[in-house]
Structure 1
Amino acid sequence: MTAKADLKKELDCYRATRDRPRLLTVPDLQYLMIDGAGDPNTEAFAEAITTLYPLAYAVKFLSKVELQRDYVVMPLEGLWWSDDMATFTSARDKSRWQWTLAVMTPEWITGEHVAAALERVAAKKAPARLGDVRLENLSEGRCVQALHVGSFDDEAELLRRMHDEYIPGHGLTLTGKHHEIYLSDFRRVEPARCRTILRQPVRTDPGDDEAGRIP
């Protein structure tokens, strides 16, 4: 068996400096994903998390036993979007948020491996939304990201600086979906100590997007 892989340490896109945005290119990666909508402080959001992780660990176990390739399960991530970016930076109207929760999965894991892991999880006490999880590639390309330390409700100022100052100041335009990587388990860590990478895909050509919107 090869040494246990820790992709969070190997990939540059999982590194960020506190409160200091930087531009980088994120490689295409694949994720276990599940969708939802509305305020994340709800049972539906918690249910999505408790659906993703049993499957993520079942996939890891399959990889270790059958493929002889062990790895560290990656942190929870979230893609967030809304018709109006102000719902994230100023108004904070969480009822209007759309989200996809995700766990990055190594490139050697295939759809067949995920299907086999789904069967194993379903054979036990299947999470309510197990049938809603999918394996999907995400191509973000050029992104701006920074590390936020603190509660989620205190993200707004860093997001504002990223969206309104750093990105336009470097001749860039927002595209894609706001992306968060939860380096801390916010279910167990006090809010003031939570470490979250805030990522925003960008492009140099403004195209036809309206300012302040996420398609």
Structure 2
Amino acid sequence: MATFDCKKAYKDLYLPKVKPSIVDVPPLEGLWWFEDNTFDGSVMGRKDEFSWVIMIRQPEFVTPEVFETAKTSLAKKKPGLDTSIARLEDFTEGLCAQVMHIGPYDDEGPTVAALEEFIASQGYRTEMSGLRQHHEIYLSDPRKTAPEKLKTVIRHPIVKR
């Protein structure tokens, strides 16, 4: 079976330019996700705690049955791990503005500010509600990539002003 690479198949969604752009994100089916209100961001160089929803896009062959089988198998391998918080769901992000941030996570502030300036200049405003929030899509492995080379897609949901 050939490996599916979301970045290659959906370049407009996962490999934006360093100049902000507007994208209409189609419904994404089969996302594995869980909420963790005490996620320790130190894995990504951040020492404070966050309230996160972590979403991982799944290949089409991951049906609800395959997902449940995987959760059962993982629970057996890792006793004590609460797999009940993981779920397989669809997600519609819709109209967004996005930009590629290159560099350390702690240096995202100016990139986010530039994204917000772009959004306003195009006649939109950021509207965060429900799961339509500030999204960061991590394309680099921080354990293997120098901080100045880390690539992160920053995406904000938008609506017309």
The TM-score range, normalised by the shorter chain, is: 0.7 to 0.9
**Percent identity between the two aligned chains:** 32
Determine the C-alpha separation between the residues in 2 that align with 1:112 and 1:22.
Answer: 37
- Give the match for residue 186 of structure 1: 142
In the TM superposition, residue 32 of structure 1 has moved relative to its aligned partner by: 0.8
Aligned length in residues = 152
Determine the C-alpha separation between the residues in 1 that align with 2:90 and 2:152.
Answer: 22
Question: What SS class does the counterpart of residue 184 from structure 1 fall into?
Answer: coil
Spell out the pairing of 1:67-106 with structure 2 (5 A cutoff): 97-106=50-59
Spell out the pairing of 1:167-182 with structure 2 (5 A cutoff): 167-175=119-127, 176-182=132-138
Measured against aligned partners, the alpha-carbon deviations of 1:123-177 in whole angstroms (never above 9, x if no partner) come to 22247232211112110111111111111110000101112x1111111121220
In the TM superposition, residue 201 of structure 1 has moved relative to its aligned partner by: 1.3
More strand by share: 2
Measured against aligned partners, the alpha-carbon deviations of 1:27-77 in whole angstroms (never above 9, x if no partner) come to 1113111112367435xxx5xxxxxxxxxxxxxxxxxxxxxxxxxxxxxxx
Spell out the pairing of 1:1-215 with structure 2 (5 A cutoff): 1=1, 3-11=2-10, 12-18=12-18, 20-29=19-28, 30-37=30-37, 40-42=40-42, 97-126=50-79, 128-163=81-116, 165-175=117-127, 176-204=132-160, 206=161
Structure 2 gaps, min length 5? none
In the TM superposition, residue 102 of structure 1 has moved relative to its aligned partner by: 1.6
TM-score between the two structures when normalised by the length of structure 2? 0.83
More helix by share: 1
TM-score between the two structures when normalised by the length of structure 1? 0.63
Question: What SS class does the counterpart of residue 158 from structure 2 fall into?
Answer: strand
Work out whether residues 99 and 154 of structure 2, in 8 Å CA contact, stay in contact via their aligned partners in 1.
yes
